[in-house]
Amino acid sequence: MTPTPPTQLPTNGIPMNNNWQTFLLENGAESNPSGLMVFDNETGSNKTTQENTVICDLSQYSTVVVAGEDAATFMQGQFTNDVNLVTENNSQLSAFCNNKGRMIANFRLFKHQNNYFINLHSSLVETAINHLQNYILRSQVVLQDVSEQLIHLGICGEQAATLLSTYVDTISDEIDSVSFNEQYIFIRAAGETPRYEIFCDIEHARQLWHDLSQQIKAVNSSSWDYLNIQAGIPCIDINTSETFVPQMANMELINGVSFNKGCFTGQEIVARMHYLGKLKKRCFKIHIATDTAPLAGDKLFAENARAGQNTGEIIMAAKNPESGYDALAVIQIADTESGLFLNDADGPVVTVKTLPYELNTNTEQK
């Protein structure tokens, strides 16, 4: 299942595997304008996801292999988390930053058959490869988009581990753990309800989808983003790349940053904010009273803000099954207890909701 690293880098991101797309279309899916798989309207799909064990295609994310004898050393000098803690049984969330400490991309890093893989938003694949390539220099490292070779699925629900145990004997329920064999990789993702990311080749993906879709419901690709919002797991895309220091997106609260691993690009600013700085912004879960889908990069405004000055920015949003939209947004901590609105002071009302992990909003960082 492990791809063979190329001798040259691809110049463009690779779209969804056409054979996989055809398979899904033949099994009840439709393709939306973004090319993602749709089985229901967004409200219905997310409601089904709340109430049932479900399976979905995750082609909105892409997978890049990082191979070569210097791969671990190279990544240790670029990524925010401690690469040495990644094993075939343990994945991690991480990011890489520009020189100003702003995240270019965040992602999941995992290891399989001596190669490393990063899984990130598809809109950032070309940006990620081009950026990292600048730091390889003479290191023995090769990067390749392998999204066409590694099909990416998600399963969520109380039956998830039981159903997956048909394919891999022992399924770990520890967050970020990896369960695998020669055919499948299952990674436990954070969430109140058990959920797993699945990586495999197209033949095994077809078999798994065929088997499971007869027992559980297939839902939209975007329903996984809804689950990430509920879990407080942000995903940076092309609209928010190079906008946030990792702590603004709560990356250190979801085990995505190590402050004792040593240097990485942008580390000085990230560390200074942690040890000496005043963190004025955090990532909050919010609800927006609107029927129009908010977009990543949309601005938030506070009722006490000066004219034209925004107080926050949306990272990602998804339809709430009851009404409006849920979202993750980076907001000025001082404004979260005042009236908040989308786009301008006359826009839809924004309400701050509770995250599933403790959020330290004390602006004085130790």
Judge if pTM exceeds 0.85. Answer: yes
CATH of domain 18-231: 3.30.1360.120
End-to-end CA distance of the chain: 45
* Nearest-angstrom CA–CA distance, 158 and 136: 43
- Gap between the Cα atoms of 45 and 33, Å rounded: 17
Domain coordinates in residue numbering, the chain = 18-231, 280-353
Taking only the tens of pLDDT, the chain with its 366 residues reads 544 443 333 333 335 688 999 999 999 999 888 888 999 999 999 999 999 999 999 999 999 999 999 999 999 999 999 999 999 999 999 999 999 999 999 999 999 999 999 999 999 999 999 999 999 988 899 999 999 999 999 999 999 999 999 999 999 999 999 999 999 999 999 999 999 999 999 999 999 999 999 999 999 999 999 999 999 999 999 999 999 999 999 999 999 999 998 899 988 889 888 887 678 999 999 999 999 999 999 999 998 776 567 899 999 999 999 999 999 999 999 999 889 999 988 899 999 999 999 987 654 443
- Closest alpha carbon to 3 in 177, 198, 201: 201
According to the CATH classification, is domain 280-353 in 3.90.1150.10? no
User: For position 359, what pLDDT does the model report?
Assistant: 87
Strand pairing report for 54-57 and 217-218: parallel
- Neighbouring residues of 120: CB distance < 8 A, sequence distance ≥ 6: 61, 62, 64, 105, 106, 107, 108, 128
pLDDT in tens, 93-128: 999 999 999 999 999 999 999 999 999 999 999 999
Torsion, CA 99, CA 94, CA 254, CA 82, rounded to 10: -100
